[in-house]
A and B are shown apart, each in its own frame.
Chain A
Amino acid sequence: MNRFANPTRFFRLATALHPWLAGLSVMLLGAGLYFALFASPPDYQQGESVRIMYVHVPSAWLGMAAYSVLAGSSFVALVWRHPLADLVARSASPLGAGFTFLCLITGSLWGKPMWGIWWAWDARLTSMLILFFLYLGHLALLDAFDDRTRGERAAAILAVAGFVNVPIIKFSVDWWHTLHQPASVTRLGTPAIDPAMLLPLMLMGVGYTVLFATLLLMNVRSEILSAKIRALRLTAS
C-alpha cells in the first residue's frame, strides 16, 4: 500500500486505471438509467416521483463518502505530512460539493410533490446543508493564503473538525423526529425496498461511486502535475 503513496507511482497507477474506471462507470450508469427511467415500476404510494430516488440517494451517499475521503486525507496530511494527502483532499472537495449540491436540489424536487414543500429545517436536510457549507469553507480556505501550505493546513483542520457532521447526517433520522424517512437500504435484516427498485438504486449507487473514483484520480493526477510545474518554475527562477 505504501508503495503507491509515492506520487510518481500513484500517477502511473491512476493513469493505468483510468480507462477501466471510466468505462465501468459509463456501463453502470447506462444500465442504471435504463432501469431507473424505463424498467422499474412506479411506487404504490409515491407514483413516478420515486424515480428521483435513483439520483437523489446516490448523490447523498457520495456527498458523505467524498467527505470521508476529504477528512481522512486531511487527517493524514496533518499528522504525517504526506505529500499526496493534501493533493487528495484538494481533489475530493469540489467533487463532494457537487454531489452534496445535487443531493439538496434533487431532494427539494422530491420533497415538493411528496411533502408539499421545497425545504424544511429538519435535522437531515439541515445537516446536509451544513455539509455543503463545510465543502465551500474548505474550498475557500485552500486558496485563502498567499502561502499555499498555510491554506492547506487551515482547510485540513476544518475538514477534520467537520467530520463530526457525517454521523450526525447518518443518524439524524433516528435521533430526531424528521420529515425525512429513515434508512431503507442499510437497515439490519432485509432492506425495506422492493428488489425491482433496489436494482436501479444499486446500479446508480455503484455507478456514482466508480465515477467519483474516476474523477478523483483525474483530479489527483492534475494536482501531481501542478506540483511538478511549481517545482520546475522554482528551479527555473
Chain B
Amino acid sequence: MTDSLAQWVFMGGLGVFVWPAYGVSALVIGALTISAWRRLKARQRELKSLQNGDGTR
C-alpha cells in the first residue's frame, strides 16, 4: 500500500514535473475563483450600503 502510494507519487521520476503542473494549476484557478467571488461579494455589500444610505431602497 505504502509502496504503491510512493510509486504513484514518484511517477517513475516524472512526479517532479507532473505535481508542480497540477499544483500551479490549482493555485491559479483557485486564485481566479476566490478573487471573482470576493469581488462580487464586495460589490454587493457596497451597493447595498449605498442604497440603504441614500434611502433609494
Contacts and interface: CB of A to CB of B under 8 A. Distances in A.
Interface of A: 37, 42, 47-49, 51-52, 55-56, 59, 94-95, 98, 101-102, 105-106, 109-110, 112-113, 211, 215, 218-219, 221-222, 225-226, 228-229, 232-233, 236
B21 A55 contact: yes
A102 B28 contact: yes
Nearest to A49: B14
A95 B28 CA distance: 10
Contacts of B44: 225
Main secondary structure of the interface of A (DSSP, over half): helix
A204 to B, nearest CB: 10
Say which size band chain B's interface belongs to.
Answer: 20 to 34
Interface of B: 11-12, 14-15, 17-18, 20-22, 24-25, 28-29, 31-33, 35-37, 39-40, 43-44, 46-47, 50-51, 54, 56
B12 A47 contact: yes
Contacts of B54: 232, 236
A15 B1 CA distance: 46
Contacts of B36: 215, 218-219, 222
Contacts of A105: 21, 24
Nearest to B42: A222
Contact of A48 (B11, B28, B39, B56): B11
A223 to B, nearest CB: 9
Contact of A112 (B17, B25, B47, B56): B17
B22 A55 contact: yes
A95 B35 CA distance: 11
B50 A232 contact: yes
Contacts of B21: 52, 55-56, 105-106, 109-110
A218 B37 contact: yes
A222 B47 contact: no
B36 to A, nearest CB: 4
B16 to A, nearest CB: 9
Given A232-B51, A233-B50, A94 B18 contact: no
A42 B28 contact: no
A48 B43 contact: no
B43 A226 contact: yes
A37 B9 CA distance: 10
Given A47-B14, A215-B33, A225 B25 contact: no
A123 to B, nearest CB: 23
A102 B21 CA distance: 8
Contact of A222 (B12, B24, B43, B51): B43
